[in-house]
Structure 1
């Protein structure tokens, strides 16, 4: 069965979602990040997989990660940190971020087997609206296909797809999602997934400003 990992950092004011300030305070931005992470962990906790991993940068893991294996992120740039995870996990691996609280079982269902009916698909990529990616799955995890890919750019998703294909992998594409990065994208995600913890907190904070 596939292992599913969530990459996340501890949601402390001034350390996460700094592009949400303004209009939100650093404390509010951290609270929104924590809500998004809890939403993500709740979905992953319900997936039909044998292993769940929190790939964590921080000291205190959230309560929602109970039952997850907590692995500390290594030092280095994001590509190096992601590559390390794909080097140390032996079983088929699906990685998701903490910035898409609209995540659902249906959105990742195709990637849980990291393959398709005839076994031809060896990897899955979930493109993000900002040009990055929100999910990456590989039947045979290999950090080499991540190491050196420029991250946090508007061509990151395309470059990662090219790297996977250059390694000879047949890649399936998941639905495009919007990351919570800015106040505008936060509002969009809250509208798209109104029942999430993230959306409820976003509405509460927005009412406080009206």
Structure 2
């Protein structure tokens, strides 16, 4: 198996700039604390997973764990920032797996499978993890140069994942689909994902503390 690297694309958890779709019912400060917990759990998982290198590709100012590299996001659109994350960390012969900070239920086994597939001779050229909202939660590429397709794909739509898969296949790539995961965008997403996390995870504790209980439940 060849060496591989893992990128985490993230936004510094600043009130008013992250998880804005949690507001309401959350305040911007509550949403930021939930985002911070999701990012912390994600970084912990990636730190535990085997990888040749781990890189936090961040919008804003946020520290990376010890042993990680940090890279500032570059580009105006999300598609450009994603493509640039692959381009700016490109290393000859090194497959790259990119994830975001919105799936704190991510397990080490997810990363191990993605890395193993890309690092095995005769394996797929790409791995893509679809999200329940129509997007994707991970993209791994044996040759990160193929990430250029992301520049022309509209993000945050119900067809983003399908269009990404189609674009990769049009380039002749063999794509392995990973399990579907739920991104955290809304309060209902946060509750659903928290239920999938260990009870003492930062994210599960943050959701319990910061997401108001619906009035219909609180009665």
TM over 0.5: yes
Q: Deviations over 1:72-95 (max 9, x none)?
A: 001210111111122222221000
Contact conserved, 1:80 with 1:146, CA < 8 A, in 2?
Answer: yes
The aligned residue for residue 197 of structure 1 is 202
The aligned residue for residue 140 of structure 2 is 137
The aligned residue for residue 47 of structure 1 is 49
Query: Taking structure 2 as the reference length, what is the TM-score of the superposition?
Result: 0.89
The aligned residue for residue 154 of structure 1 is 158
Q: Secondary structure at the residue paired with 1:192?
A: coil
The aligned residue for residue 111 of structure 1 is 114
Greater shift, 144-153 or 33-42, is seen at: 144-153
- Determine which of 100, 103, 106 is the counterpart of 1:100: 103
What is the CA RMSD across the aligned residues, in angstroms? 1.7
Q: Is residue 37 of structure 2 the alignment partner of residue 35 of structure 1?
A: yes
Q: How many aligned positions are there?
A: 208
Q: Deviations over 1:53-78 (max 9, x none)?
A: 0000002x13x533211000012101
Q: Secondary structure at the residue paired with 1:30?
A: helix
Query: Taking structure 1 as the reference length, what is the TM-score of the superposition?
Result: 0.93
Contact conserved, 2:132 with 2:182, CA < 8 A, in 1?
Answer: yes
The aligned residue for residue 189 of structure 2 is 185
Structure 1 unmatched ranges of 5 or more:
none
Contact conserved, 1:74 with 1:81, CA < 8 A, in 2?
Answer: yes
Q: Is residue 90 of structure 2 the alignment partner of residue 85 of structure 1?
A: no
The aligned residue for residue 3 of structure 1 is 5
What CA distance in whole angstroms lies between the structure 1 residues aligned with 2:113 and 2:198?
Answer: 24
